[in-house]
Amino acid sequence: MDDNDDAVESSGESFVLFGDWRDEALLDAIGEAFALERQRERTEREDSLAPLRREVAELRGQVSALLTLLQGAKADVIGLPRKRPSDAA
């Protein structure tokens, strides 16, 4: 094997280990293993982020409610009718 063959193999353009169908089968298996591992890591990451995303959504809702209350405090106070006695119905 000369230097040119080494360069081709290290660049990923060609892979020869057995010199037959097993080379392609091995590459397919390694590719599948990488794909499965990436999917597992993605799922694990999403599972760990889900509680944080829920908390952020809850906090955004609380901030929105506080802003609404603060804006309402600046508005004119409107008098509400007094509660009617329960026997008035």
Domain boundaries, the chain: 16-57
Calculate the CA dihedral of residues 14, 20, 24, 26 and round it to 10 degrees: -110
In one letter, which amino acid is 19?
A: G
Local structure of 20: helix, strand or coil: coil
| 8 Å CB contact between 17 and 9 | no
Helix (H, G, I), strand (E, B) or coil at 16: coil
Query: Hey, how many other C-beta atoms are within 10 angstroms of the C-beta on 33?
Result: 10
Q: What pLDDT is attached to residue 82? A: 73
pLDDT of the chain along its 89 residues, tens only?
455 555 445 555 677 888 999 999 999 999 999 999 999 999 999 999 999 999 999 999 999 999 888 887 765 556 667 776 666 55
**pLDDT recorded at residue 7:** 47
Phi, psi of 82 (to 5 degrees): -70, 155
